[in-house]
Amino acid sequence: MHAQPSAELCLQAKGITKRYPGTVALDNVDFEVYRGKVNVLIGENGAGKSTLMKIIAGIEQPTEGELRMNGRPVKLAGTRDAAAKGIGIIHQELNLFPNMTIAQNMFIGREHTRYGMLLDHDRHVEKTRDILRQLECDLDPHTPVSRLKVGQQQIVEIAKTLTQSEMQVLIMDEPTSSLSTAEVEVLFKLIRDLKAKGLAIIYISHRLEEIMRIGDYITVLRDGKLVARDEIANIDIPWIVRNMVGHDQVLSTNRPKRQPTEEVLRVENLTLRSPEGGFILKDVSFSLQKGEIVGIYGLMGAGRTELLETLMGLHPEAEGAVYLEGKPIKPTSVRNQIDRGFALVPEDRQRQGLVQPLSIAKNMTLSSLGKYFRRLFLSSKLENSSIARMIQNLYIKAPDPKLPILSLSGGNQQKVVIGKYLLTDPKILLLDEPSRGIDVGAKADVFNIIRQLAAEGVSILLVSSELKEILAYSDRVIVLSGGRLTGEFQDDQLTENNLVNASSKK
């Protein structure tokens, strides 16, 4: 239960309680952070991790309890104060300004001045380039953030924190949730460098294998309470799961063999040209049956997201043929695709999936309002019962559906977006990384719902970067590499090796 005596305590949270209206987010939590170590914090969606981090970063004040740094009590008046005391945070949600460039975003709020007044733009660009190079990222600092993919935005978010000087504690709240394997390796190298410099890292992630690799100490929260802590060297993944959810949980992998059904969707030679020349998708052909779950596997940049987007009507310039129930269709508008029964759960749920100022309930019913109109007036009873069902089925931790969406934890916001698309009663459901940011227990819930929908006849295309997940839940898997289809596997052929080999085929 106790840390090595050799490790030096850097920051300590003692007896922290945080109450929000209707919720006790943290209940008398102790948390210890050691210098030169990766201090992991884990727990289910809504367990209180981000809340504790916001308190340590000076963004929120605790209702009760105190923080100590280097043995002395500290009060953090705000983020600037925390930054001045050497605490930096990489947020779970992306906080970049899309219309500004990378360099502008990096230094926002703490611009360097020349002669005390001018913004030193050249210096920002230069410094940005340096930090990006350190992260092995060759983006141009002048690129507007709106042009970046989610993973790239996450790298900029990380880079931004590294501009802070004299850092002692660096909080990483799910830094890898949209990073590719190669990008994760770069981040891990950076973490090792920072550790060597004596920084204390606080690391939050739902990727358990990652935690086992990079972590030194682990603290588990459940329902706002501290339930366990230990050295990573003493524990294993089942220990984590047991402490997080209260019992052992396994991803069930018994994929029942399904009987062929009629074809719902057929795609022939789908091709999408890149504006910069070359192809994003090239001659992709496959079919999807009623009630079938087809996984789409591939590395970052293989064209998986673009394939789903094209089917949703977001790339009207795409070439090739698409047949829905035998009839040719042109996926040239999102509106039409929705009417035809397509729904896309986007990868960037934060930005594309939610309307921030609205309530949880309104966010959920936004895209399916048509269903709830009865003779031109809104049947709030029907609407409320659907919302209640989704909140229950997806175990969304929300004290009241009328609360603003931003009062939910990151993972629970993701579940709201998934729930919202499920309410549209789709015929063809396109899922882009549905389990991202969702805890192990909730993952199983989400996939059970996906399976249930398939059993009810919904056809599903599932993009996931997690091999185990895609193997466990797909009836068949197609693999993309560089925009081309490089493999299609089912039954005995559906193995990790086959997928990995096909994903690196040229």
Ligand X SMILES: Nc1ncnc2c1ncn2[C@@H]1O[C@H](COP(=O)(O)OP(=O)(O)OP(=O)(O)O)[C@@H](O)[C@H]1O
* Candidate segments 344-352, 386-394, 408-416, 461-469, binder of ligand X by CB under 6 A: 408-416
Asked whether 357 and 372 are in contact (CB, 8 A), the reply is: no
Tokens of 297: 């596997």
> What mask of x and - would describe binding to Mg ion in positions 86 to 125, judged by CB under 5 A?
------x---------------------------------
**What is the total count of residues that contact ligand X (CB under 6 A)?**
20
The whole-angstrom separation of Cα 42 and Cα 436 is 15
Is position 410 an interface residue for Mg ion (rule: CB under 5 A)? yes
**Can you tell me which of 13, 16, 31, 48 binds ligand X, judged by CB under 6 A?**
48
Is position 20 an interface residue for ligand X (rule: CB under 6 A)? yes
The whole-angstrom separation of Cα 298 and Cα 499 is 8
The whole-angstrom separation of Cα 470 and Cα 302 is 16
* Candidate segments 19-27, 155-163, 278-286, 455-463, binder of ligand X by CB under 6 A: 19-27
Residue closer to ligand X (CB basis): 222 or 484: 222
**Can you tell me which of 350, 412, 474, 503 binds ligand X, judged by CB under 6 A?**
412
Is position 282 an interface residue for ligand X (rule: CB under 6 A)? no
Half-sphere exposure of 159 (CA within 13 A, CB side): 32
Is position 498 an interface residue for ligand X (rule: CB under 6 A)? no
Residue closer to ligand X (CB basis): 414 or 459: 414
Residue with nearest beta carbon to ligand X: 411
Helices (H), 280-346: 304-311, 334-339
Q: Which does 45 bind (CB under 5 to 8 A by kind): ligand X, Mg ion, none?
A: ligand X
Q: State in angstroms the smallest separation of the CB of 384 from ligand X.
A: 20
Is position 401 an interface residue for ligand X (rule: CB under 6 A)? no
Q: Is 159 helix (H, G, I), strand (E, B) or coil?
A: helix
The whole-angstrom separation of Cα 3 and Cα 280 is 50
Q: Which does 305 bind (CB under 5 to 8 A by kind): ligand X, Mg ion, none?
A: none
Residue with nearest beta carbon to Mg ion: 50
Is position 243 an interface residue for ligand X (rule: CB under 6 A)? no
Q: Which residues contact 134 (CB under 8 A, 6 or more apart)?
A: 162, 190
Is position 413 an interface residue for Mg ion (rule: CB under 5 A)? no
Residue closer to ligand X (CB basis): 361 or 428: 361
Q: Which residues contact 77 (CB under 8 A, 6 or more apart)?
A: 58
Q: Is 375 helix (H, G, I), strand (E, B) or coil?
A: coil
Measured in degrees and rounded to the nearest 5, phi and psi for residue 176 equal -105, 5
The whole-angstrom separation of Cα 498 and Cα 488 is 9
Residue closer to Mg ion (CB basis): 411 or 419: 411
Tokens of 247: 């019992």
Q: Which does 35 bind (CB under 5 to 8 A by kind): ligand X, Mg ion, none?
A: none
Is position 58 an interface residue for Mg ion (rule: CB under 5 A)? no
**Can you tell me which of 11, 38, 39, 49 binds ligand X, judged by CB under 6 A?**
49
The whole-angstrom separation of Cα 217 and Cα 215 is 6
Is position 51 an interface residue for ligand X (rule: CB under 6 A)? yes
Asked whether 455 and 427 are in contact (CB, 8 A), the reply is: no
Residue closer to Mg ion (CB basis): 101 or 350: 350
Run of H or E residues at 56: helix 49-56
**Can you tell me which of 151, 175, 353, 411 binds ligand X, judged by CB under 6 A?**
411
Is position 298 an interface residue for Mg ion (rule: CB under 5 A)? no
Residue closer to Mg ion (CB basis): 25 or 485: 25
Is position 50 an interface residue for Mg ion (rule: CB under 5 A)? yes
Is position 43 an interface residue for ligand X (rule: CB under 6 A)? yes
Q: Which does 407 bind (CB under 5 to 8 A by kind): ligand X, Mg ion, none?
A: ligand X
Q: Is 335 helix (H, G, I), strand (E, B) or coil?
A: helix
Residue closer to Mg ion (CB basis): 386 or 409: 409
**Can you tell me which of 152, 161, 178, 407 binds ligand X, judged by CB under 6 A?**
407
The whole-angstrom separation of Cα 36 and Cα 1 is 19
Q: Which residues contact 381 (CB under 8 A, 6 or more apart)?
A: none
Q: State in angstroms the smallest separation of the CB of 410 from Mg ion.
A: 4
Is position 25 an interface residue for ligand X (rule: CB under 6 A)? yes
Q: Which does 157 bind (CB under 5 to 8 A by kind): ligand X, Mg ion, none?
A: none
CA dihedral 484, 486, 491, 492 (to 10 degrees): -160
The whole-angstrom separation of Cα 166 and Cα 378 is 56
* Phi-psi group of 386: left, alpha or beta (phi > 0 → left; psi -120 to 50 → alpha; rest → beta): alpha
Q: State in angstroms the smallest separation of the CB of 205 from Mg ion.
A: 10
**Can you tell me which of 23, 176, 178, 459 binds ligand X, judged by CB under 6 A?**
23
Is position 465 an interface residue for Mg ion (rule: CB under 5 A)? no
**Can you tell me which of 85, 160, 282, 397 binds ligand X, judged by CB under 6 A?**
397
Nearest alpha carbon to residue 310 among 348, 351, 267, 275: 267
Measured in degrees and rounded to the nearest 5, phi and psi for residue 268 equal -125, 125
Q: State in angstroms the smallest separation of the CB of 53 from ligand X.
A: 8
What does the DSSP assignment read for 177-246?
TT--HHHHHHHHHHHHHHHHTT-EEEEE-S-HHHHHHH-SEEEEEETTEEEEEEEGGG--HHHHHHHHHS
Residues at the site binding Mg ion, with contacts judged by CB under 5 A: 50, 92, 409-410
Residues at the site binding ligand X, with contacts judged by CB under 6 A: 20, 23, 25, 43, 45-51, 92, 397, 407-412, 439
